[in-house]
Amino acid sequence: MSEVQPTQPEQDNHPDQMPEFEERLLLAERKDWEINEAVLQPMFKTGRGFWILVAILSAIVLWGFYAWGYLIYWGMGTAGINRPVYWGLFITTFVFWVGISHAGTMISAVLRLLKADWRRPITRGAEAMTAFALMMAGLYPLIHLGRVWKFYWMIPYPNNRFMWPNFQSPLMWDMVAIFTYLIGSSLYLYLALIPDMAMARDYTEGWRYKLYRVLALGWRGTEAEWHKLHRALGIFSVAIIPIFLSVHSIVSWDFAVTIQPRWHSTIFAPYFVIGAVYSGLSALASILIIVRRSMRLQEFLRSEHFDSLGKLVMVAGMAWVYFWFAGFIVEWYGNEPIVRELIHEEVSGPLAPFFYLQMGANIIPIILLVFKRVRTTPVLLLGTTLLVNVGMFTERALIVIGSLQRNDLPFNWGTYRPSWVEISIVAMTFAGFALLYTLFSRIIPFVPVWEIKEGRLRYTLRRIGRLLVPTAAEIE
């Protein structure tokens, strides 16, 4: 949607498209300081609703920490896991959060490289989502350890016994991948933040001024500084894409390298990556709709952005269905006894409600997103994208818990019920993510102001005869 054809609006006078151009031009007409104000003002307004939200989220987080302490003190038995379901809701939610973290880089790095113009106002929200979701995901490898106080044995540090972690283990790959991705995405988030920190520094006083002054690193906006920033962002955009692909591949190999039926699959790595993009982009759309409303950023996050995002979600969803089908059909025809049993339980057995929830909640949004009305109406898009993530969470639960319930020896089959400890800790990470994001939106400019100003240069009004025509230029 980044291409604007100058003559189109005048010729067919399409009712859907006219407001978009008007909004975009409105932004082009705005002064720099007006944009700064529009972004900064909502940050300073922390009304009663905001503090109530923070209090509720903090309470859930505190309760979750109590549950975690309970788990550590009494042992893993307080979670619902058993033999053979050694991994339960913790690993499911771990995979889910790593998946959510994927859209930030997807939006920001891939679209930056592709020079997709509609990415500009949503990059910061996406990158913050990556960082916070990874922080939540990173808790789970600790939470699910039986002896969490020995977690540092997984870190390769010099010691007098020459004990080294086992780099054959996918858990080690996990740790390396998540740390790399967290460091890379945090730096990427911060780099793009520097000019806005300088802008905020110049507009604030008190504790905010002190904070922004430190974070701005003495940015003055000289030509050399901009040049370096663009180069650094260019390098990061390219460098972070292999990391982004590898992280969820590695998470999938936690499962695929074992010989557990339904886990041992060659398609798991790309299937997990595309599922991560699908759920991450959907989560991004949901979050942007909520933030846009609560912070009154309608001017920056316009329906054209949600339109493009909705299309991307739809494409990712189609790819997810393709990969799911490619894996499923091979297992169906392979007809190995335990795999057949698992498939039957999913399609017509005790797992059927979850299976049909997964398929319905992942496929119906694709159909809905075909319609422009759904993509551009905030309430409809919010419902659709939340539905996608219900489906993706169910999918992860089916893979992790559903598969583990069955194995090669039928006497070892088992069932799983999550305990209050597991549910509390899962709720803690959801509330923790929301809390970090809420606080972030009041401290850091949610919309990347410098990117918007840069993108604004593309659009101008030109007078051809008596006609005012919007035009678009190609810029870096």
Partner 1 sequence: MAKDANQSDEGIRWALVVDLDRCTGCQACVVACHAENNLQIVGEKEAAYGRWTHWIIIHRYWEGEYPNVKARFMPIMCQQCSEAPCEPVCPVFATYHNEEGLNAQIYNRCIGTRFCGSACPYKARVYNWFRPEFPEPLTEQLNPDVSVRTRGIMEKCTFCIQRIRRVEIDAQAEGRSPTDGEIQPACVQTCPTSALIFGDLNDPNSHVSQLAHSRRSFRLLPELGTDPGVIYLKGGEVNV
Q: What residues line the site for partner 1 (CB under 8 A)?
A: 74-77, 81-87, 144-147, 150-151, 153-154, 163-166, 168-172, 175, 254, 257-260, 404, 407-412, 414-415
Least CB distance to partner 1 at residue 100 (A): 23
Spell out the residues 6+ positions from residue 263 whose beta carbon is closer than 8 angstroms to its own: 255, 256, 399, 403
Residue with tokens 């990173």: 138
Task: State the DSSP string of 377-430.
Answer: -HHHHHHHHHHHHHHHHHHHHIIIIIHHT--SSGGG-------HHHHHHHHHHH
Whether residue 279 contacts residue 371, with contact meaning beta carbons closer than 8 Å, is answered with no
Q: Which is nearer to partner 1, 196 or 422 (CB)?
A: 422
Least CB distance to partner 1 at residue 62 (A): 24
Q: Which is nearer to partner 1, 141 or 195 (CB)?
A: 141
Distance CA 64, CA 325 (A): 37
DSSP letter at 109 equals I
Residue with tokens 């988030």: 189
Q: Which is nearer to partner 1, 165 or 270 (CB)?
A: 165
Least CB distance to partner 1 at residue 158 (A): 16
Helices (H), 148-193: 170-191
Least CB distance to partner 1 at residue 244 (A): 23
Q: Which is nearer to partner 1, 168 or 335 (CB)?
A: 168
Distance CA 233, CA 105 (A): 12
Least CB distance to partner 1 at residue 78 (A): 8
Least CB distance to partner 1 at residue 306 (A): 40
106-114 CB contacts, 8 Å cutoff, 24+ apart: 106/244, 106/277, 106/280, 106/281, 107/281, 107/284, 108/188, 108/192, 108/237, 109/188, 109/236, 109/237, 109/238, 109/240, 109/241, 109/244, 110/237, 110/241, 112/233, 112/237, 113/237, 113/238, 113/241
Least CB distance to partner 1 at residue 350 (A): 16
Write phi, then psi, for 460 (nearest 5 degrees).
-135, 160
Side chain identity, residue 52: I
Q: Which is nearer to partner 1, 176 or 364 (CB)?
A: 176
Q: Which is nearer to partner 1, 51 or 86 (CB)?
A: 86
Least CB distance to partner 1 at residue 84 (A): 5
Helices (H), 13-47: 18-29, 32-44
Q: Which is nearer to partner 1, 39 or 81 (CB)?
A: 81
Q: Which is nearer to partner 1, 167 or 207 (CB)?
A: 167
Q: Which is nearer to partner 1, 17 or 78 (CB)?
A: 78
**Euclidean distance between the first and final Cα of the chain, in Å?**
17
Whether residue 290 contacts residue 382, with contact meaning beta carbons closer than 8 Å, is answered with yes
DSSP letter at 216 equals T
Least CB distance to partner 1 at residue 258 (A): 4
Distance CA 25, CA 17 (A): 13
Q: Which is nearer to partner 1, 28 or 145 (CB)?
A: 145
Whether residue 72 contacts residue 148, with contact meaning beta carbons closer than 8 Å, is answered with yes
Least CB distance to partner 1 at residue 146 (A): 2
Candidates 189, 211, 124, 4; CA nearest to 451 is: 124
Whether residue 179 contacts residue 173, with contact meaning beta carbons closer than 8 Å, is answered with no
Retrieve residue 139's tokens: 């808790």
Least CB distance to partner 1 at residue 341 (A): 15
Distance of CA 6 to the CA centre of its chain: 35
Q: Which is nearer to partner 1, 11 or 335 (CB)?
A: 335
Residue with tokens 């005012």: 468
Least CB distance to partner 1 at residue 139 (A): 15
Quick one: residue 13, left, alpha or beta (phi over 0 = left, psi -120 to 50 = alpha)?
left
Q: Which is nearer to partner 1, 119 or 396 (CB)?
A: 396
